[in-house]
Chain A
Amino acid sequence: MEKFGAEILVDALINEGVEVMFGYPGGVVLPIFDVLYDSPIKFILTRHEQGAAHAAEGFARATGKVGVCLATSGPGATNLVTGLADAHMDSVPIVAITGQVPTGLIGGDAFQEADAVGITRSITKHNYLIKDIRDIPRVVKEAFYIAGTGRPGPVLIDVPKDVSTARAKPEKVDRVELRGYRPVLEGNKKQIRRAAEAILQSNRPVIYGGGGIIISGGSAELRRLSESHKIPVTLTLMGLGGFPGTHPYFMGMLGMHGTWAANRAIKDCDLLIAIGARFDDRVTGKLDEFAPHAKIIHIDIDPSSIAKNVPVDLPIVGDVKTVLGQLLKELEGLSQPNPKPREKWLAEISGWEKEHPLRYEKSKKLIKPQYVIEKIYELTKGDAVITTEVGQNQMWTAQYYKFDRPRTLITSGGLGTMGFGFPAAIGAQLGKSDSLVVDIAGDGSIQMNIQELATAVQYRIPVKIAILNNRYLGMVRQWQELFYNKRYSNTCIKCQPNFKKLAEAYGAKGYTVTDPAEVVPVLKEAFGNDQPCLMDFQVDPEENVLPIIPPGKGVYDTILAPPPKRKKKSSR
């Protein structure tokens, strides 16, 4: 039976298991929206296409499934760009569908024409312009396959209006044949053997894990490797939750705002086992001071991530979960070394943990942002999905919330996109309807996609927003304080809406909190509420994220939190 292109497209999406999608209508996608009108797919109308892209990401990051968004041509497509770039950097599987002007008008500067495929070429894993209605089923099948396999990423499909309105008999496609795309899952056996030997020979090993652990679903294997061989673990921002944050072998996050213990351990280790991580500059700092004494094993599914920034002694290309499984098996067959040196190494690390733990000065008068996060952690017991915005709020979350399980932290790592957290929370909530979803936000970032309050209210999506309101673009202000002589150029954002009233104006619940004693009661009330809630925590404005390794510097240049002030001893 003949069908319209738009019908074939929506059928193909349903065939891929799509249950929910995010987007915004417009001229050239009218035929697609007309089909969606009575399709079983739940459509979430965001209030900005950027919100749709981040919501699709939030859905994908929370569930591991491919997230889908839809926008019109021209401005609709360009509004998706930030979300695509974000998904590309953090390896998030999304499929974005954009409308395009009719094929006959392409290239003629038609109304709302933009070269979506050209614009997004370097920020997608792959993209398509469909010129022939008969290609729709194949392209959709390939797009989902490419987005979700290997190192995942965003795929864009640009659909001209005349392709949506043409008619054809849909072809059945049930297999993908891509001769240029065959991700390698299993690691090379000889390399695995060598890695196992290196692990057994090492006295001071460290595991440095990244987002690949979560994407591959390899946390159980990672834990077994760490526990059975007494190997301490540090994680990148993207890796948090891939190893229990409360585990005695966990040293905390590494890098610019990492813990002293994690960064010191990297400095002194003799073996660095990098797993699903990519040696980002926010992690390594000064390259020649990063793991200077270590032999480096690097496990990653993307060969181009290996030896990109740092030379690697033992590269293993493959899926993290699969390779770790192979490695554990290999290790089982080998005789175990003397545990003494490892125990000494772990003790040394505990020493660093005690020397400079994460700390901040407590206050009874001012709300400390770290305190809010600690309380969110205590109240949720880690059983929640936390998204963040970007800046200090994000780094404090990474430091003070203990992520025990994968996919409980959803944050924009590689691109550092302000405005990500709230729409991502909406997407995450749709994927995890039973979970409590909290966006830990900054007062600057939240204003970048605040319009999505309307989305949350319309669809009764009960996400919670906790703004750590310091009335500054705090992270930038912190850099100005430390590196630009406190010249606070354009970072003070005191002029801001009354967030409580704003939330109420949208029909959500709003709270303003200025007293530290109110933090817990308000959190409790909001978490117990089934509405979207916005909490405006007015925090200490000039609190800094510490420790910090200044950009391009090494661990010995760390600026640490000052030790707690001693209370005056009362005279006897």
Chain B
Amino acid sequence: MKKHAISLLVENQFGALSRISGLFSARGYNIESLSVAPSSDPTVSRMTIVTSGDDRVVEQIGKQLNKLIDVIKVWNVSDYDSIGRELILVRVFAGDHSQDEIIRAGQAFGAKVVDVSEKSLAFEMMGDSQEVENFLNLLKTFGIKELIRSGTLAMIKEGNK
């Protein structure tokens, strides 16, 4: 099933987030990731939700979200030319491999070392979903100890809306 990134502008108000997450659970839609923070207008939050489903389900998700009073606007970003980014914090085991080897792997993906100890090494890395996936696959050879992902942020390219 295809993944879809949905971008929303919502009232920055008590209850808006639970209304939206509640809608997903009540109607049986899944959420792969969800990120939310105030936009440039502090009364409005920007939310990015990554979900999956066939076209009919995703169309319904859009319509149901639009029905919520707190939702101001909805875009299915996957319908447009867009930019997707995710930030990850990842800690790998440093026991069996030399730290240099691990750091070189990180450099190849533009990752920054943010924490070092004898036993492990932590990176901060950002990229689109493919880059993040590739980086994590590479790190698997060292062994991933801990992984924290921000969820995807998505922006439609200028002139495409």
B56 and A304 form a contact (CB under 8 A): no
B98 at the interface (CB under 8 A from A): no
How many chain A residues touch B (CB < 8 A): the figure is 19
Q: A121-B18, A121-B19, A122-B26 are in contact. Are A180 and B63 (CB under 8 A)?
A: no
Q: A122-B26, A179-B72 are in contact. Are A307 and B59 (CB under 8 A)?
A: yes
Q: A179-B72, A180-B10 are in contact. Are A129 and B15 (CB under 8 A)?
A: yes
B26, closest chain A residue (CB): A122
B64 and A304 form a contact (CB under 8 A): yes
A141 at the interface (CB under 8 A from B): no
Task: Determine the distance from Cα of A304 to Cα of B72 in the docked complex, in whole angstroms.
Answer: 16
A128, closest chain B residue (CB): B15
A178 at the interface (CB under 8 A from B): yes
Residues of A within 8 A of B69 (CB): 125-126, 146, 178, 180-181
Q: A117-B15, A121-B18, A180-B71 are in contact. Are A307 and B56 (CB under 8 A)?
A: yes
Contact with B22, one of A121, A126, A146, A302 (Cβ below 8 angstroms): A121
Name the interface residues of B1-38: CB closer than 8 Å to any CB of A.
Answer: 10-11, 14-15, 18-19, 22-23, 26
Kindly supply a per-residue 1/0 record for chain A positions 91-128, scoring 1 wherever the CB is within 8 Å of any chain B CB and 0 otherwise: 00000000000000000000000000110011001110
B67 at the interface (CB under 8 A from A): yes
A153, closest chain B residue (CB): B67
Contact with A304, one of B11, B22, B67, B70 (Cβ below 8 angstroms): B67
A303 at the interface (CB under 8 A from B): yes
A304 and B63 form a contact (CB under 8 A): yes
A180 and B72 form a contact (CB under 8 A): yes
B66 at the interface (CB under 8 A from A): yes
A293 at the interface (CB under 8 A from B): no
Task: Determine the distance from Cα of A180 to Cα of B59 in the docked complex, in whole angstroms.
Answer: 18
Residues of A within 8 A of B19 (CB): 121
The winner among A121, A178, A180, A307 for most chain B CB atoms within 10 A is A180
A122 and B63 form a contact (CB under 8 A): no
A308 at the interface (CB under 8 A from B): yes
> What distance in Å separates the Cβ of B74 from its nearest Cβ neighbour in chain A?
10
Residues of B within 8 A of A121 (CB): 15, 18-19, 22
Q: Count the A-B residue pairs with Cβ separation under 8 angstroms: how many?
A: 40
Task: Determine the distance from Cα of A129 to Cα of B14 in the docked complex, in whole angstroms.
Answer: 9
Residues of A within 8 A of B64 (CB): 304
Name the interface residues of B68-125: CB closer than 8 Å to any CB of A.
Answer: 68-73
B26 and A303 form a contact (CB under 8 A): no
Kindly supply a per-residue 1/0 record for chain B positions 43-71, scoring 1 wherever the CB is within 8 Å of any chain A CB and 0 otherwise: 00000000000001001100110111111
Binding site secondary structure of chain B:
helix
Task: Determine the distance from Cα of A140 to Cα of B118 in the docked complex, in whole angstroms.
Answer: 62
Residues of B within 8 A of A131 (CB): 14
Residues of B within 8 A of A126 (CB): 69
The winner among A122, A125, A304 for most chain B CB atoms within 10 A is A304
> What distance in Å separates the Cβ of B107 from its nearest Cβ neighbour in chain A?
45
Task: Determine the distance from Cα of A131 to Cα of B13 in the docked complex, in whole angstroms.
Answer: 12
Task: Determine the distance from Cα of A302 to Cα of B64 in the docked complex, in whole angstroms.
Answer: 10
> What distance in Å separates the Cβ of A115 from its nearest Cβ neighbour in chain B?
10
Residues of A within 8 A of B26 (CB): 122
Residues of B within 8 A of A129 (CB): 14-15
Residues of A within 8 A of B67 (CB): 302-304
B18 and A303 form a contact (CB under 8 A): no
Contact with A122, one of B15, B22, B73 (Cβ below 8 angstroms): B22
B63 and A303 form a contact (CB under 8 A): yes
Task: Determine the distance from Cα of A118 to Cα of B26 in the docked complex, in whole angstroms.
Answer: 13
Task: Determine the distance from Cα of A122 to Cα of B67 in the docked complex, in whole angstroms.
Answer: 12
B59, closest chain A residue (CB): A307
Task: Determine the distance from Cα of A32 to Cα of B158 in the docked complex, in whole angstroms.
Answer: 53
Kindly supply a per-residue 1/0 record for chain A positions 283-317, scoring 1 wherever the CB is within 8 Å of any chain B CB and 0 otherwise: 00000000000000000001110011000000000
Residues of A within 8 A of B11 (CB): 179-180
Kindly supply a per-residue 1/0 record for chain A positions 303-341, scoring 1 wherever the CB is within 8 Å of any chain B CB and 0 otherwise: 110011000000000000000000000000000000000
> What distance in Å separates the Cβ of B39 from its nearest Cβ neighbour in chain A?
13
B60 and A304 form a contact (CB under 8 A): yes
Task: Determine the distance from Cα of A363 to Cα of B59 in the docked complex, in whole angstroms.
Answer: 54
A142, closest chain B residue (CB): B69
A118, closest chain B residue (CB): B18
Residues of B within 8 A of A302 (CB): 67
> What distance in Å separates the Cβ of B23 from its nearest Cβ neighbour in chain A?
8
Contact with B70, one of A117, A180, A307 (Cβ below 8 angstroms): A180
A303 and B22 form a contact (CB under 8 A): no
Task: Determine the distance from Cα of A68 to Cα of B59 in the docked complex, in whole angstroms.
Answer: 34
Residues of A within 8 A of B15 (CB): 117, 121, 127, 129
Residues of B within 8 A of A180 (CB): 10-11, 68-73
Residues of A within 8 A of B70 (CB): 180
Task: Determine the distance from Cα of A180 to Cα of B19 in the docked complex, in whole angstroms.
Answer: 14
Task: Determine the distance from Cα of A118 to Cα of B18 in the docked complex, in whole angstroms.
Answer: 8
> What distance in Å separates the Cβ of B158 from its nearest Cβ neighbour in chain A?
23
Residues of B within 8 A of A146 (CB): 69
Q: A129-B15, A180-B10, A180-B11 are in contact. Are A308 and B60 (CB under 8 A)?
A: yes
Residues of A within 8 A of B22 (CB): 121-122
> What distance in Å separates the Cβ of A131 from its nearest Cβ neighbour in chain B?
8
A317, closest chain B residue (CB): B63
Task: Determine the distance from Cα of A127 to Cα of B15 in the docked complex, in whole angstroms.
Answer: 9
Name the interface residues of A156-182: CB closer than 8 Å to any CB of B.
Answer: 178-181
> What distance in Å separates the Cβ of B145 from its nearest Cβ neighbour in chain A?
36
Task: Determine the distance from Cα of A138 to Cα of B15 in the docked complex, in whole angstroms.
Answer: 17
B22, closest chain A residue (CB): A121
Contact with A303, one of B56, B66, B68, B72 (Cβ below 8 angstroms): B66
Taking Cβ atoms with an 8 Å cutoff, the residues of B that contact A are: 10-11, 14-15, 18-19, 22-23, 26, 56, 59-60, 63-64, 66-73
In the complex, besides A180-B68, A180-B72, A304-B67, 11 extra interface pairs with C-beta distance below 8 angstroms are: A121-B15, A121-B18, A122-B26, A126-B69, A127-B15, A129-B15, A131-B14, A180-B70, A181-B69, A302-B67, A303-B66
Can you spell out 10 A-B residue pairs with CB atoms less than 8 angstroms apart? Answer: A118-B18, A121-B19, A129-B14, A129-B15, A146-B69, A179-B11, A180-B69, A303-B66, A303-B67, A307-B59
Q: List the 9 closest pairs (A to B, CB-CB), nearest first.
A: A304-B63, A180-B72, A126-B69, A122-B26, A181-B69, A303-B63, A179-B72, A180-B71, A304-B64
